[in-house]
Amino acid sequence: KVPQSKPCEDGGQPCKKQKKMLTYQQRAALCTHPVAKRLFTIMHEKRSNLAFSVDVTSATQLLQFADDIGPYICLLKTHVDILEDFSQDFVTRLQATAKKHNFLIFEDRKFADIGQTVLKQYISGLYRICDWAHIVNAHIVPGPGVIHGLSKVGVPKERGCLLIGQMSSQGSLATGEYTTAAVKMAEENSNFVMGFICQGSLTDDPRFIHMAPGVQLGGSGDQLGQQYNSPAQMVTEKRVDVIIVGRGILNAEDPVATAKLYQHAGFEAYENLSNNLCFCTI
């Protein structure tokens, strides 16, 4: 059910400015992409638009974090290529934890090579990413071949891909026409591409999911160019769907309590957005 609209501020006349906003549940119903459908469903059921970026270098520590923070998130974002002790056993345990707490796994590999190469990087090597990551992402700089290469493997396995349309780092070149090109490539490959890594909404198509890294309560940045926005800024102002929080939780004194805080802040921003939008028109 679409949330109730408030009377339009503009004297009760239909407000042309606001777009109709769909709930996660409605968007799940619209999705034909299996992973997007599943993720929107989890977001609705768990009342969470929080992704946790668990950038630790110990697999044991990663699994502990996944188990502790798992109940509050819709998605766990990994960089398995920084783990000192990656193993097949780790993968099995990670998958079990994801199932236990009902979250998806997103390996933030940022594939960025020609099609033939990313295909091999996705299926082979020590990490065999396609075997366990529900979602991966790709830079579009090589051209559409990067998506074609990955989708040859990903589509049969019912995996999803996010295109990097924007980045949170200072001086990023993913802007303007580059970002527009990402949206076009997503639309042309929507059997595999399910959304974007971005800093704000890039398309009104409700089937695409927008995820923003660089989210922190009260943070400003680091010494290597990272820049932060708050959950409310990202969800209410920038209209992103999923907030990706890493160091905001990892470096907190109480990571579990802090994850709950981010879950609440992110979901409240989504609900506020619903409540404040005018639904008098499409």
What residues are annotated to the active site?
110, 113
Query: Which of the stretches 25-33, 43-51, 122-130, 155-163 binds a second copy when contact is defined by CB under 8 A?
Result: 122-130
Nearer to a second copy by Cβ, of 2 and 114: the residue is: 114
Kindly list the distances between the CA atom of residue 171 and the CA atoms of 143, 176, 177, 224, 245, in Å, as whole numbers in the listed order.
Answer: 21, 13, 15, 11, 21
Question: Tokens at residue 191, please?
Answer: 């059997």
Question: CB 235 → a second copy: shortest distance, Å?
Answer: 21
Contact call for residue 170 and a second copy (CB under 8 A): yes
- Per CB under 8 A, the list member of 155, 181, 217, 252 interacting with a second copy is 181
| C-beta of 84 vs 253, nearer to a second copy | 84
Tell me if 182 sits within 8 A of 58, measured CB to CB: no
Residue 20 CB: number of other CB atoms within 10 A?
Answer: 15
Q: What's the closest the beta carbon of residue 206 comes to a second copy, in angstroms?
A: 26
Looking at the chain, how many residues does it have?
282
117 binds a second copy (CB under 8 A): yes
d(CA 51, CA 213): 9
Contacting range for a second copy; rule: CB under 8 A; set: 9-17, 33-41, 118-126, 264-272:
118-126
DSSP designation for 226: B
Using CB under 8 A, which of 48, 97, 121, 263 touches a second copy? 121
The site for a second copy, by CB under 8 A, has a size of: 50
Residue of 19, 22, 55, 260 interacting with a second copy (CB under 8 A): 55
Which candidate, 236, 274, 277, 276, places its Cα nearest to that of 27? 274
Q: Does 60 bind a second copy (CB under 8 A)?
A: no
Cα dihedral value 34, 37, 40, 46, nearest 10: -80
Q: Decide whether 75 or 278 has the Cβ nearer to a second copy.
A: 75
| 13 contacts a second copy (rule: CB under 8 A) | no
Beta bridge partners of 169: 226
Residues 198-237 binding a second copy (CB under 8 A) are 222-226
Q: Is 248 helix (H, G, I), strand (E, B) or coil?
A: helix
The 10 Å Cβ neighbour count of residue 189 is 17
The yes or no reply on residue 142 touching a second copy (CB under 8 A) is: yes
Interface with a second copy (CB under 8 A), residue from 81, 187, 205, 254: 81
Q: Are 1 and 274 in contact (CB under 8 A)?
A: no
Tokens for 54? 């668990």
In this complex, which beta carbon is closest to a second copy, that of residue 22 or of residue 123?
A: 123
Asked whether 269 and 235 are in contact (CB, 8 A), the reply is yes
Binding site for a second copy (CB under 8 A): 55, 57, 79-84, 86, 108, 110, 112-117, 119-121, 124-127, 139-146, 148-149, 164, 167-174, 178, 181, 222-226
